[in-house]
Amino acid sequence: MNQLNRGAGLITSREEQERVAELNLLAGERAKTSTAYASALTYFTAGRGLLTENGWEQHYSLIFALEFHRAECEFFEQSTARCRTTARHAREPYRDSRR
């Protein structure tokens, strides 16, 4: 998929762009299932980049799926980074003091 995305700028046919966007969705879903969120985010972003903004009317399901999965991956990437930063500064195991 990475090789195909590198040449995506050369694709001029709307049908081919849609097909490559669909392939990016599939690749992103597989990466996300494997918890490879950074890779999945790359695929979802690349797929969405192949479809025009007014494509929401023509390709609603595809664009919605790409955007939804992209948002999930952004959330996981951000929360993972925050957890790593917090863990680096931890002095002792976390205990909830409210209990």
Mind listing the pLDDT tens digit for each residue in 10-36?
Answer: 999 999 999 999 999 999 999 999 999
pTM reported for the whole predicted model: 0.81
Beta-carbon contacts of residue 43 (< 8 Å; ≥ 6 apart)? 1, 5, 24, 25, 27, 28, 31
Calpha distance 41→17 (Å, rounded): 18
Mind listing the pLDDT tens digit for each residue in 51-92?
Answer: 988 889 899 999 999 999 999 999 988 888 888 888 888 877
Q: Which CATH architecture has domain 2-88?
A: Up-down Bundle (1.20)
Other Cβ atoms within 10 Å of 56 Cβ, number: 13
